[in-house]
């Protein structure tokens, strides 16, 4: 059982979520200590008790992103008992995450996140590598259980899976009036399954 969050942890998460909202609306470059503090409803000096700079907030956002993305994978393993069901669960959770926060893809795709900051670039690479590795592991399990074709390449298929989600994220951010996340999921998932599943 997870321990209850402390007041400090709750405040940090509030700050990070406020920062995500600003990035989602205005981009990474619009982020500022003053703007985040105003969004949370505190004075900048109170925010500095938790994060010493804008750069620390950006690093904190990446940590939060990693926690949320990999938590989806962990929950899929706990709640679903075969590879295809786990992958569908992950896709639906990640699409829901995109609806909650439009900023997540902007963070991954924006060079403002890591230009001149090799440590942050390494952190982004580690998040993507961990995610793709977890997807590959589920695909390999599906191959072993006989639900996923033996001739797929798990690593490439994991990237293909990611490709169902990231373009959707871009369309959400440009607010394309013709685009609906739920319809996208309903259409793209069966096509993905047909491309990898063993047909009995």
pLDDT band at 130 (very low <50, low <70, confident <90, very high): very high
**Neighbouring residues of 102: CB distance < 8 A, sequence distance ≥ 6:** 24, 25, 169, 172, 173
Answer whether residue 15 shows pLDDT above 60: yes
Over residues 53-68, mean pLDDT:
89
Answer whether residue 4 shows pLDDT above 90: no
Answer whether residue 194 shows pLDDT above 90: yes
How remote is the C-alpha of 130 from its chain's centroid? Answer: 12
**Core vs surface per residue 136-170: b (16+ CB within 10 A) or e:** bebbbbbbeeebbeeebebeebbeebbebbbebbe
**Considering the chain, what percentage of its residues have pLDDT values greater than 70?**
92
Q: 154 and 143 in contact (C-beta within 8 Å)?
A: yes
Q: What is the pLDDT of residues 136-174, one digit of tens each?
A: 999 999 999 999 999 999 999 999 999 888 777 777 767
- As a whole number of angstroms, the distance between CA 83 and CA 76 comes to 9
Return the CATH number of the domain spanning residue range 55-196: 1.10.357.10
Answer whether residue 33 shows pLDDT above 60: yes
- As a whole number of angstroms, the distance between CA 198 and CA 147 comes to 5
Question: Which residue matches tokens 């997540």?
Answer: 104
User: Residue 111: its pLDDT value, please?
Assistant: 74
Answer whether residue 133 shows pLDDT above 80: yes
User: Residue 1: its pLDDT value, please?
Assistant: 43
pLDDT band at 177 (very low <50, low <70, confident <90, very high): low
Q: What is the pLDDT of residues 90-103, one digit of tens each?
A: 999 988 887 777 77
Q: Who has greater pLDDT, 48 or 28?
A: 48
Lowest mean pLDDT among 16-30, 128-142, 145-159: 16-30
Q: What is the pLDDT of residues 62-120, one digit of tens each?
A: 888 888 889 999 999 999 999 999 999 999 998 888 777 777 777 777 777 766 577 88
CA angle 7, 10, 12 (to 5 degrees): 110
Domain spans, the chain: 55-196
């Amino acid at each position: 059982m997870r321990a209850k969050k402390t007041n400090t942890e709750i405040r940090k998460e509030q700050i990070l979520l406020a920062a995500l909202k600003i990035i989602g609306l205005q981009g990474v470059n619009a982020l500022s200590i003053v703007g985040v503090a105003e969004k949370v409803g505190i004075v900048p000096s109170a925010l500095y008790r938790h994060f010493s700079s804008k750069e620390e907030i950006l690093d904190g956002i990446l940590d939060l992103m990693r926690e949320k993305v990999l938590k989806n994978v962990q929950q899929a393993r706990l709640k679903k008992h075969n590879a295809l069901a786990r992958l569908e669960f992950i896709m639906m959770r990640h699409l829901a995450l995109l609806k909650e926060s439009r900023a997540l893809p902007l963070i991954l795709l924006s060079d403002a996140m890591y230009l001149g900051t090799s440590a942050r670039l390494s952190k982004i690479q580690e998040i993507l590598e961990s995610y793709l590795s977890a997807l590959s592991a589920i695909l390999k399990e599906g191959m072993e259980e006989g639900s996923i074709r033996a001739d797929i390449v798990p690593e490439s298929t994991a990237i293909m899976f990611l490709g169902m989600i990231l373009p959707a994220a871009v369309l959400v951010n440009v607010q394309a009036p013709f685009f609906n996340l739920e319809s996208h999921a309903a259409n793209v998932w069966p096509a993905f399954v047909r491309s990898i599943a063993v047909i009995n």
